[in-house]
Chains A and B, each alone.
Chain A
Amino acid sequence: MAKVLMKGNEAIGEAAIRAGCKNYFAYPITPQSEVAEYLVKRLPEEGGVFLQGESEVAVGYMIFGAAGAGERVMTTSSSPGISLMSEAISYIAAAHCPAVFVNIVRGGPGLGGILPSQGDYFQATKGGGHGDYHLLVMAPDGVQEAVEMTMLAFTLAEKYRGPVMIMGDGLIGQMMEPVEFPDDLKTEPTNKDEWATSGMDFRKSKKRNLVKSLFLDPTALNDNNLALKAKYQQMKEEEVRFELYNGDTDYRVLITSYGTMSRVCRTAIDMLKEEGIEVAMLRPKTLFPFPEKAVFEAACKDSCKAVISIEMSMGQMVEDVERCVKGKRPVEFYGECGGDIPSPEKIIDIIKGLL
């Protein structure tokens, strides 16, 4: 298929359609409202449904309902909206339902601002809602990757029967890039007859599927948590995705960065190379599971003297980086989170300060 020019938000909407998603529920919020604007036009053409909830709290439970019935379902929102949905996300995780959540992150905390931010890293990777659960979180660095990750998200949500999140800072939603939609990323739903609710159809079969998050019996609750833990362990073994940029050189500094921020770091690395200074970047594509081993190994390369995590936050992913580096190298941090994205020149100054 020929390339088209799309905004990240539009491309995420189209990718969901191409992945077979027929159910999209959302509530508008800048900077992701274009997903709804796009899907309100496109979904009816595909026989799908877009329903605007009365709030993000309602949307969260609309997602739970559709996911519990085994339907491919997605919502998109931005930071404060995801906060409101977090209760439902916890329920969805507890009840083992596949669903796709997209967070096009804006500045926070509180109402913050409408410009790009990565301040929701903790919320995405460490919880947001209550209880022992995780989302599988993928962070695209551009519109093409947003397409591929959105399509993949439906497959992974079903593989692990749980919520999957695409976390893009505001620029990922708002920027335009040429994209194409790969045909080979669409998968067919697999075993939903074994677990999804089926309305009155249970009378026809012997087994009635029950989707629930309430386990009053302590053994049953412990077992459910063990089942969740086993899934997260499997994700750590099978789903870690990352990119090591300029990693085959004798780099002196290792940057860890993701999303839009990694694009700026990439330009800074290219500019530093022209000056004869080698710097590498490890870019997690999955924020959970985190590329723990890859970060450790990249940091421990002999030539590497320091690691720096560069984020559009006040220091969130850096905590995971420190954990993975295990004290073998100093781990520094640089971040801004008002909405202005640091320039390549700024990053170069920071890196030179480490040499």
Chain B
Amino acid sequence: MDFTGIVVVAGNYGSGKTETAINLAAACRKTGMAVNIADLDLVNPYFRTREARIPLEALGIKVILPDRQYLFADLPILSPAVADIIRQQSDLTILDAGGDDVGVTVLAALASVLQDRPVRMLQVINVFRPFTNDVAGCIKIQQEIEASAKLPITGLVSNANLLDETTPDHIYQGYDLVEKVSAETGLPVDFITAGQKVLPLLDMHRFSCPVLPIDRKLLPPWKRI
């Protein structure tokens, strides 16, 4: 995977943007790159990047969150530090956006700092989520996100999963869907994801794109790590 500059992780609500963003940040950091990640999720009240702050910082990733006093609020607060890290060039700056068109509205507020900078925006798709189980649904959400973010989507990511119940067939189903979306839109499939459990069971020859391993960071409190 070759990611540098600014990468926005977008997609429909609950597509797994945050797990994808966190694991992408970790994978890139492990290759020695300087990586920043910013939580722009102003939509979702639970399970946000901020909950994975400690493991990310342990890897040497700079994590930009809202001010501590607002960490558990459901207020649309955009930390001024986000504009700062976009201005300061790092090897890779990942912006974890909120879901749907509403979630990327915040990017329009950053338009002036994003201007004239190469920005990649990924659309994360989980075929098992409502509203993105077919090509038409994925393209509809794509257009809504682009209109709201005022930025084009540049690549597709399949994050097909049913959490612990994911099988290789689920991964293949997700891959086949993003391939179809790719054929329809001309957008490349940048990578697909697979959880650690299902990864060794996959036939890698089936994919013509990289596979990002997902080590789940946002677990409910009863799951043992």
Contacts and interface: CB of A to CB of B under 8 A. Distances in A.
The answer to whether A binds B is yes
Interface in A244-273: 260, 263-264, 266-267, 271
Interface string A48-74: 000000000000000000000000000
Given A5-B14, A263-B221, 8 more contacts: A6-B14, A170-B45, A175-B47, A176-B14, A263-B222, A264-B222, A267-B222, A271-B224
B134 to A, nearest CB: 13
B36 interface: no
Interface in A37-91: 37-38, 41-42
Interface string B68-91: 000011100000000000000000
Contacts of A330: none
A3 B73 contact: no
A176 B14 CA distance: 8
Contacts of A10: 14, 130
Contact of A177 (B45, B46, B47, B163): B163
Given A3-B128, A38-B130, A175 B74 contact: no
Given A5-B14, A5-B162, A30-B74, A343 B128 contact: no
Contacts of B133: 4
Interface string B94-107: 00000000000000
The 10 closest A-B pairs by CB, nearest first: A178-B162, A174-B46, A263-B222, A341-B221, A267-B222, A30-B74, A5-B128, A264-B222, A30-B45, A178-B165
Nearest to A343: B221
A175 B218 CA distance: 10
Interface in A1-52: 3-7, 10, 14, 30-31, 34, 37-38, 41-42
Contacts of A264: 221-222
A175 B220 contact: yes
Interface residues of B, number: 24
A51 to B, nearest CB: 20
A113 interface: yes
B172 interface: no
A170 B46 contact: yes
Q: SS class of chain B's interface: helix, strand, loop or mixed? A: loop
Nearest to A264: B222
Interface of B: 13-14, 44-47, 72-74, 126, 128-131, 133, 161-163, 165, 220-224
Most-contacted residue by chain A among B128, B129, B221 (CB, 10 A): B221
B73 A263 contact: no
Contact of A6 (B73, B130, B165): B130
29 contacts: A3-B162, A5-B126, A5-B129, A5-B162, A6-B129, A6-B130, A10-B14, A10-B130, A37-B13, A38-B130, A113-B72, A114-B73, A114-B74, A170-B46, A174-B45, A174-B46, A175-B220, A177-B163, A178-B128, A178-B165, A260-B220, A260-B222, A263-B221, A264-B221, A267-B223, A271-B224, A339-B72, A343-B221, A344-B221
A307 interface: no
B131 A41 contact: yes
A171 interface: yes
**What is the interface residue range for chain A against chain B?**
35 or more
A5 B13 CA distance: 11
A115 interface: yes
Contacts of A176: 14, 47, 163
Most-contacted residue by chain A among B131, B161, B163, B222 (CB, 10 A): B222
A263 B220 contact: yes
A344 B224 contact: yes
Contacts of A339: 72
Interface string A257-292: 000100110110001000000000000000000000
B224 A5 contact: no
Most-contacted residue by chain B among A5, A41, A266, A344 (CB, 10 A): A5
B130 A171 contact: no
Interface in A78-125: 113-115
Contacts of B14: 5-7, 10, 176
B45 A5 contact: no
B162 A115 contact: no
A41 B224 CA distance: 36
